[in-house]
Amino acid sequence: MRQIVLDTETTGLEVRQGHRLVEIACVEMVERRLTGRHYQTYLNPDRAIDEGARLVTGIEDEFLLDKPRFAEVVEEFLAFIDGAELIIHNASFDIGFLDAELARLDNGAGRIGDRCSVLDTLALARERYPGQRNSLDALCKRLGVDNSRRDLHGGLIDAQLLADVYLAMTSGQDAFDLGFEGAAEQRHAVVTAPVILRTRPCVLHASPEELLQHERRLDALDKSADGQSVWRRLS
């Protein structure tokens, strides 16, 4: 499965007030593994950036003057995302701006939903952590994702962080359910044949760095479980 983690930066918050995209950033995952491929571009929005947006992104109007307009990069961008599942935090915001840019072209490009399915990680986080803060920064802290590079909101950094958050959020305890809560007869229903070893097994020991990463992951699971995770109890 091919997934594209996407983030945008804009001149302001309201697309209905004519605000425009100033940055699009995407990172690619295939079968839940980052491939190293990414797409990123700044855009000339043909309008000024709101002061609030400038303070958040650090992007100045002068910086964008020589950047391409959306119409100049749309084919390359659509080719990168075409057919993938888009992973976006607060997807309605980004999709709204992208669809507005496509509508301005008047070339039959359609809408993003015509080309891609969309998974909203904000909706996923609200389902998993009801009543808690679910901003990208809050999720990084909760799931043990290092966001120390995020001094300002940059599209590519945010997309990379969101990829880590998504992978952590979708590979937690429920993904490793060993059936401890199931009925006893179900837990003992599987019969396996004895394993016969023909050669001496090779034992691979974790490095100190891997052990440290393991402990950090357990700490994150403890926080998301509001107590001791199942892995701590087993150990």
The set of catalytic residues is: 153
Phi-psi category of 197—alpha, beta or left, where left has phi over 0 and alpha has psi -120 to 50? beta
Tokens at 52, concatenated: 């609030």
Phi/psi of residue 27, each to 5°?
Answer: -125, 145
Closest by Cα among 219, 118, 221, 206 to 168: 221
Q: How far is CA 162 from the centre of its chain?
A: 3
Contact present, 40 and 26 (Cβ < 8 Å): yes
Q: Are strands 85-88 and 2-10 parallel, antiparallel or unpaired?
A: parallel
User: For residue 122, what are the CA distances in angstroms to 20, 79, 93, 96?
Assistant: 22, 26, 11, 15
Which segments within 60-102 are labelled E, that is strand? 85-88
Closest by Cα among 80, 100, 84, 94 to 136: 94
Side-chain half-sphere exposure of 74, counting CA atoms within 13 A: 20
Contact present, 223 and 142 (Cβ < 8 Å): yes
